[in-house]
């Protein structure tokens, strides 16, 4: 994670992008495209979804047509799917940390604006589905309200203007390259939250690159700090995943001395796309053995530069043997940090042990300890159980 360049002036106003920054557009992409492809005799491949993130609708449509060898022109295809997307706006989920950031700015009296390339009417429709959002922005600027959209600075300059402030006082938070370029062209400070994985290097023009909104530290910009971290951990809305333990890359114990009981990521593609990569912790239940503390990484393991997003849970217990094939249920209750690269294997191992110490200690705090009694850890997981991979306990 790049450290922010020194600030010359304190930030007083924040300008947020919407799609890909506050809202998860990925999930809706699969919800629309999955049934469309089925109707056309094709099968949606969730592992290809990341290829569409950050692209314009026209570019994304062209990629889908080519990947799935569909017999339409880009224009024909867009005219069929655009109305389907329009129906999905209320299904766009807030990205991790979005609600937290919006509430934080509002409760601390930091004026915030929304600035998006989408037309104003689309923005209004999208944010009306999220409680408290509309009232939290002192200005909302749509792509149809200025002459040129991002990467031109117009949208951001208009947002600053409507908030009666000057560009150098503004901090822009953006997920896309055109958005970062627009913010810099407007003379503003820019934090990039890239929604396309592993593309951090391309965002070098941003003042800071973070992995997710959970990693934004407002105090670095002279803004009030978050005060919800507890002993180096951040409580999150818990999520629940489970399945049979499968073979991973085979290097956890061998290379690191840290075994990780891998779950089949393809069963959780929606859950995985909803949660940012990073180091999390919680409780783990092995069907025949018991409930254990657990620390895990989700993501691409930058040190090994994996091409697949994987779930790597390390159960904080010494087992005498392997338990491949056994049912493993996880309740993930807190966040520790973003995934990182390390200068040496030794420093990666040391950091993972530090994560384990943090998790071990935090899980005794009532805010996390109470989830040890989750019904999800008490039920047995049957094959094809519809609750498998779901967000809530039912």
Site for ligand ADP in 91-130 (CB under 6 A): none
Cα 22 from Cα 288, distance rounded (Å): 41
- The reply to whether 158 belongs to the active site is no
68 or 303: CB nearest ligand ADP:
303
Q: Which stretch binds ligand ADP (CB under 6 A): 47-55, 163-171, 245-253, 336-344?
A: 245-253
Name every residue whose Cβ is closer than 8 Å to that of residue 290 and which is 6 or more positions away in sequence: none
Binding mask 248-267 for Mg ion (x = CB under 5 A): x---x-------x-x-----
By CB under 5 A, is residue 57 in contact with Mg ion?
A: no
Q: Are strands 189-192 and 170-174 parallel, antiparallel or unpaired?
A: parallel
**Residue positions counted in the chain:** 394
Window 159 to 188, contacts with ligand RBF (CB under 6 A): none
Q: And the tokens for 211?
A: 């992995």
Residue facing ligand RBF at closest CB distance: 303
Counts of helices then strands in the chain (DSSP H, E): 11, 13
Give the x/- contact pattern for Mg ion in 220-249, rule: CB under 5 A.
----------------------------x-
Which of 13-21, 302-310, 364-372, 383-391 is the region at the interface with ligand RBF (rule: CB under 6 A)? 302-310
C-alpha to C-alpha distance for 129 and 13, rounded to whole angstroms: 24
| Interaction between residue 349 and ligand ADP (CB under 6 A) | no
Q: Where are the alpha helices (DSSP H) in the chain?
A: 25-39, 57-67, 74-86, 98-107, 120-128, 154-162, 177-185, 269-274, 345-362, 366-369, 375-378
In the structure encoding, which two tokens stand for residue 394, read together?
A: 């039912």
85 is in the binding site of which of ligand ADP, ligand RBF, Mg ion, none (Cβ under 5 to 8 A by kind)? none
304 binds Mg ion (CB under 5 A): no
251 lies in the binding site for ligand RBF (CB under 6 A):
yes
- Contact assessment for residue 180 and residue 174, using Cβ atoms and an 8 Å cutoff: yes
207, 123, 133: which is closest to 173 by C-alpha?
207
Question: Residues touching ligand RBF: how many (CB under 6 A)?
Answer: 22
Q: Is 312 in the site for ligand RBF (CB under 6 A)?
A: yes
Q: Is 317 in the site for ligand RBF (CB under 6 A)?
A: no
In this complex, which beta carbon is closest to ligand RBF, that of residue 179 or of residue 299?
299
355: annotated active-site residue: no
Residue nearest to Mg ion (CB): 248
Query: If binding is defined by CB under 6 A, does position 315 make contact with ligand ADP?
Result: yes
Q: How far is the CB of 387 from ligand ADP (least distance, A)?
A: 22
Rounded to whole angstroms, the Cα distance separating 111 from 136 reads 8
Out of 44, 137, 240, 314, which residue is the one contacting ligand RBF (CB under 6 A)?
Answer: 314
Give phi and psi for 239, each to the nearest 5: -130, 160
Distances (CA, A) of 369 to 228, 239, 330, 331, 376: 17, 15, 14, 11, 14
Which of residues 128, 253, 380, 392 is near ligand ADP by CB under 6 A? Answer: 253
> Maximum Cα–Cα distance for the chain, whole Å?
66
Hunting for tokens 């930058």 — which residue is that? Answer: 302
Q: Quick one: CA dihedral 252, 339, 25, 205, positive or negative?
A: negative
Contacts of 233 (CB under 8 A, 6+ apart): 281, 334, 335, 336, 358, 359, 362, 368
Q: Which of 175, 312, 339, 355 is catalytic?
A: 312
Counting contacts by CB under 6 A, is residue 296 touching ligand RBF? Answer: yes
Please give the span between the terminal C-alpha atoms of the chain, in angstroms, as a whole number: 38
- Tell me: does residue 319 bind ligand ADP (CB under 6 A): yes
**Tokens (6 digits) for 390:** 């779901």
Q: Respond yes or no: is residue 19 known to be catalytic.
A: yes
Q: Which does 315 bind (CB under 5 to 8 A by kind): ligand ADP, Mg ion, ligand RBF, none?
A: ligand ADP
Q: Which stretch binds ligand RBF (CB under 6 A): 161-169, 174-182, 295-303, 375-383?
A: 295-303
Active-site positions read: 17, 19, 312
The residue ranges that bind ligand RBF (CB under 6 A) are 248-249, 251-252, 256, 258, 260, 279, 295-297, 301-304, 312, 314, 339-340, 348, 352, 355
């Amino acid at each position: 994670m790049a450290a922010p360049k020194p600030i010359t002036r304190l930030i007083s106003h924040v300008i947020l992008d919407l799609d890909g920054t506050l809202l998860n557009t990925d999930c809706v992409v699969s919800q629309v495209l999955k049934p469309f492809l089925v109707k056309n005799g094709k099968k949606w491949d969730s592992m290809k979804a990341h290829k569409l993130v950050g692209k314009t609708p026209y570019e994304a449509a062209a990629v889908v047509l080519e990947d799935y060898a569909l017999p339409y022109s880009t224009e024909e295809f867009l005219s069929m799917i655009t109305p389907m997307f329009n129906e999905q706006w209320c299904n766009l989920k807030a990205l991790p940390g979005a609600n937290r950031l919006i509430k934080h700015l509002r409760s601390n009296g930091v004026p915030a604006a929304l600035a998006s390339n989408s037309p104003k009417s689309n923005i209004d429709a999208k944010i009306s589905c999220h409680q408290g959002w509309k009232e939290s922005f002192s200005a909302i600027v749509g792509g149809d309200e200025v002459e040129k959209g991002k990467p031109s600075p117009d949208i951001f300059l208009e947002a600053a203007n409507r908030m009666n402030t000057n560009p150098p006082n503004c901090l822009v938070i953006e997920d896309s390259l055109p958005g970062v370029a627009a913010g810099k062209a407007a003379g503003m400070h820019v934090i990039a939250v890239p929604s396309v994985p592993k593309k951090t290097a391309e965002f070098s023009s941003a003042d800071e690159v973070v992995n997710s909104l959970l990693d934004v530290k407002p105090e670095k910009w002279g803004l009030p700090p978050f005060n919800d971290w507890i002993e180096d951990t951040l409580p999150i809305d818990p999520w629940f995943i489970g399945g049979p333990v499968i073979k991973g890359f085979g290097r956890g114990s061998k290379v690191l001395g840290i075994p990780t009981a891998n779950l089949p990521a393809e069963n959780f593609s929606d859950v995985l796309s909803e949660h940012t990569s990073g180091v999390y912790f919680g409780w783990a239940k092995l069907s025949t053995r018991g409930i254990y503390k657990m620390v895990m990484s989700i993501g691409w393991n930058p040190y090994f530069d994996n091409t697949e997003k994987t779930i790597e849970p390390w159960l904080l217990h010494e087992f005498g043997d392997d338990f491949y094939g056994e049912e493993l249920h996880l309740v993930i209750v807190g966040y520790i940090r973003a995934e990182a690269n390390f200068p040496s294997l030794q420093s990666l191992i040391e950091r993972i042990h530090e994560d384990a110490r943090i998790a071990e200690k935090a899980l005794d705090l009532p805010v996390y300890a109470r989830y040890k009694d989750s019904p999800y850890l008490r039920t047995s997981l049957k094959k094809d159980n519809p609750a498998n991979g779901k967000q809530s306990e039912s």
